Amino acid sequence: MDTNTYGQTKGRSGSYSVNYQQTGRELLTPDEIRLLDNRKSILFIRGERPIMDDKYDLKKHVNFRYTEDGGASPYDYAKTPLAHDDLKIDINRLDDYELLSTEDILGE
């Protein structure tokens, strides 16, 4: 809530003043957030105002049946085409490998 107050006095050297006051409150207090309906969510996107919307029910998604919760078998990462059981390193050719430090990896 914004409030503007103007004041003016007249006389030999008339003066004029403007007071600006901005009052407001938090988007929601912690108590109000605790009381929110579990079907609601608050979406924050940088540069935009917050939005309160209904949560999406994942069980209604068309691909839900492909998940373990939807009745499909658990995903087996070992069966993926590019999966490797282990890295194969020839111990006789260790000079071909370079051990990087954490600084080298992070670029520091």
pLDDT of residue 4: 64
- pLDDT at position 30: 87
Question: How far, in Å, CA of 38 to CA of 15, rounded?
Answer: 56
Residue 12: its pLDDT value, please? 67
Q: What is the pLDDT of residues 74-88, one digit of tens each?
A: 988 777 777 677 777
Q: Which tens digits make up the pLDDT trace of 6-39?
A: 665 555 666 666 666 666 677 788 898 889 899 9
Beta bridge partner(s), residue 19 = 5
Domain boundaries, the chain: 2-106
**What does the pLDDT read at residue 65?**
94
Rounded to two decimals, the pTM is 0.39
